[in-house]
Amino acid sequence: SRAAIEKQLAAGNNIGLVGDGIAGIFQCSLEEEVIALKNKKGLAKLALRNGRHIIPCYSFGNTEAFSLWYDSFGWMEWISRKAQASLFFYWGKFGLPIPHRVNITMAIGDMIEVEKVENPTQAQIDEVHQRILDGVEKTFNTYKNALGWGHKRMRFV
């Protein structure tokens, strides 16, 4: 919750967040790394209110650790949103919930400096949010070829 995150930040702790959640699972593609972060601006607002810098990262390999199936009609996504839990079929090695053997590599981008603003304007939030998206995409593009992901592109939804 936002309150729990702000409590940790106030205590001087750093936090890590995965941005796309349920929406990201239902956007998977073999050609693209799809991240459901385009309209989620809470991280930018939180960073501004607390004056905390952001380090954009991308974890390569997570989308290939398991195979998955979900209906093309969107019913499973709708139910998942209502239940606030991801409901889909997945499998790994030998059809079991054991991940496929794939390298998982965390790529770390350049720090985004954020000044503290008690009541940020929408323009300030939008500017920091765009810097976050640019930072994640730059990190992805910087490392994708070296990690064997040169055939993929990133798309924000």
pTM for the model: 0.86
Q: Which amino acid makes up residue 142?
A: T
Residues ≥6 apart with Cβ < 8 Å to 150: 144
* pLDDT tens digit at each of 157 positions of the chain: 788 888 888 888 888 877 776 677 777 777 888 888 999 999 999 999 999 999 999 999 988 888 888 788 888 888 888 888 888 888 999 999 999 999 999 999 999 999 999 999 999 999 999 999 999 999 999 999 999 999 999 999 8
Q: Which residues of 62-99 are buried (b: 16+ CB within 10 A; e: fewer)?
A: bbbbbeeebeeeeebbeebbeeeebbbeeebeeeeeeb
